[in-house]
Structure 1
Amino acid sequence: MDEFRKFFEGHAVFFGVVVPILAIVGSFAGSWAAGWMQARGGRDQAAAAREAAKIAAEAQRVAALWSIRQVQIAEFIRNARELVRVSEELRERPIDADLRRESGTALRAIALCAAEVEVTAPQDVVEAAYALSGTLRDLLDEAQDIGLTSCATDALFELCGSSDTATAGAAIEAHRALNDSTLTPEAQSSIVSMVSGLTEEQVRRLVVEVNSPVDLNQRWVEAANAVTEKLRTFVAGTREMLKSEDDVAPAVPQQRRRWRRNSTQSVTSSA
């Protein structure tokens, strides 16, 4: 110990210069280290903020897309059922200009809805939407065939009771010809076309209907069953897309573990 004491006393001037320098260097190093740690904490905090902003933006995008899909699907289903209703009207009552306009509007509405679904829904839902649209058009076509044929049949029956003897006689003869399976469609058409008061379209429909291998009403039932099946498939697919069974809002992307670690480090550094 005496030797150390003598050494320090013998070099007092040297240590008087070195010790203050070491103090200054130590203070500078401490300040630099503290600044570096604070800067690192700031960068981590900024990265965490950017990550949080990305997550929030993605959550908003998912929620907006979910809402758009929900509205579009509901509108599509509503228009599909409206088209079914119009088809039933075409089948059951005389077709007039208003009913034709209504059917055209319903058909355009379902086509527009299908196009909207195409740009927002998954591929399986898009395919189900177009499959349903196709069966709805088929149903509408069958309804129009039944309606127009029914109108032609009603017109022929009315002419059978016409006050004009010639017209009534021709109508009765046409009715017999249509129920005569021994006559060819050409012969039937020739006889029916002699009835005054029937249009060419009505004559054609009367002859086609009695010679069709499948009853019009049976075709309607098959088309209606196809619509029911495709609608069920479409609804099931959209419920899966919207997670309807979960009874929850659309899932928000989970925060990454790296963000949590950086966030914790930022808080620690700030403290």
Structure 2
Amino acid sequence: MTYFEDNPEIFAAIVAAIAILGGLLGSIIGAKIQANGGRDQAAAAREAARIAAEAQRVAALWNVRQLQVAEYIQGVREVRRLANLFYEQDANATGLEAQLCDARHALSLKLAEVDLTLPFGVVQAAYKVYECLEREVGIARDAGPAEYFLGIVSSQVFSEDPAESELARQAEEAVNELRAAPDTGDPRPRFPLVRVVVQTVRAATGATAEQAMAVVRYVSTGQYPAMRSENIQENAASMATLIMATRSVLRSEDDVIPPVPEQRRRRWRAGAGR
């Protein structure tokens, strides 16, 4: 200490040097801290941007899935509506077959879209709906014309026109006789009855030979009403499964679009806190 007291200029120089070195060290440390903070902020910004992009992707996919399943369900309902018209009108006269063909083609395209974008559980449910609907269409094509023309026969029995009423009565009697005829496994004994049914139904209703034969098949099997009833139940169950599976994927019980996964939110918060 005596040395520094005898040489104050040296002491002052040392103090100045220490101050300078301290300042430089402080600047270096501050710059390093600032640089680290900048890198953390940049990393947090990149993570936030990535999470935002992912959230946008999830939201866009959610919208696409919702639209595709909604359009698929609407397509199913349109095909079913057209299939039911086979029971209510002359399909040949109204061009119903062509309308049904177009609706089924559009539905198959919607099913392909569902197949590409929805989870496997929803896709399985959609195919089950499609299979049930195809059976419904097949039943409608076979049973629909028969029920339609049988309905005409039943109503025309009570026609005020005696000639029209008589033709309908003959057709009804022929149908009832065919219905009551035993099925021995050999169709040949039934051929005369089949011929009478075809002739009388055509005379009473104006049906084509093909449509009259649909009446024959319907009456001969007697299974179409039960098949249709069973198919209606299968359709309702398969559609309910599809709707439930889709609602689960879309999180329909929530009030908002599905959020960003929880793990990614925690990583973003960790980056923001550094």
Please, what TM-score do these two structures have when normalized by structure 1?
0.78
Bigger radius of gyration among the two: 1
Of 178-187 and 72-81, more deviation after overlay is shown by 178-187
- Of residues 211, 218, 229, the one that matches 1:209 is 218
2:121 is aligned to 124
Residue identity in the other structure for 1:131: K
Q: CA deviation at 1:18?
A: 3.2
Structure 2 distance, partners of 1:152, 1:187, is 25
Q: 1:258 to 1:15 in 2, by over 3 A?
A: farther
- Of residues 127, 131, 136, the one that matches 2:133 is 136
Native 8 Å contact 1:185 1:207 kept in 2: no
1:181 aligns with 2:182: yes
Output aligned runs, 1:1-271, within 5 Å: 4=1, 6-12=2-8, 14-96=10-92, 98-150=95-147, 178-179=178-179, 180-181=181-182, 184-189=186-191, 192=194, 201=210, 205-212=214-221, 214-254=222-262, 256-265=265-274
In angstroms, what is the RMSD of aligned CA positions?
3.4
Of 99-108 and 191-200, more deviation after overlay is shown by 191-200
Native 8 Å contact 2:142 2:218 kept in 1: no
Cα distance per residue 1:158-215 (max 9 Å; x no partner): 9xxxx9xxxxxx9899758734326731332366458677877457545533432x52
Of 35-44 and 214-223, more deviation after overlay is shown by 214-223
Structure 2 distance, partners of 1:172, 1:80, is 36
Cα distance per residue 1:211-245 (max 9 Å; x no partner): 32x52122111111111111111111112222222
Instruction: Report SS of the residue matched to 2:260.
Output: coil
Task: Give percent identity, aligned residues only.
Answer: 38
Q: CA deviation at 1:150?
A: 4.2
Q: CA deviation at 1:103?
A: 1.0
Of 248-257 and 190-199, more deviation after overlay is shown by 190-199
Q: CA deviation at 1:116?
A: 1.2
Structure 2 distance, partners of 1:205, 1:261, is 73
The count of corresponding residues between Structure 1 and Structure 2 is 253
Native 8 Å contact 2:75 2:107 kept in 1: yes
Structure 2 distance, partners of 1:204, 1:176, is 15
Native 8 Å contact 1:114 1:129 kept in 2: yes
Q: What are the ranges of 5 or more consecutive residues in structure 2 without an aligned counterpart?
A: 157-162, 164-169
Q: CA deviation at 1:41?
A: 0.9
Residue identity in the other structure for 1:71: L
Residue identity in the other structure for 1:138: R
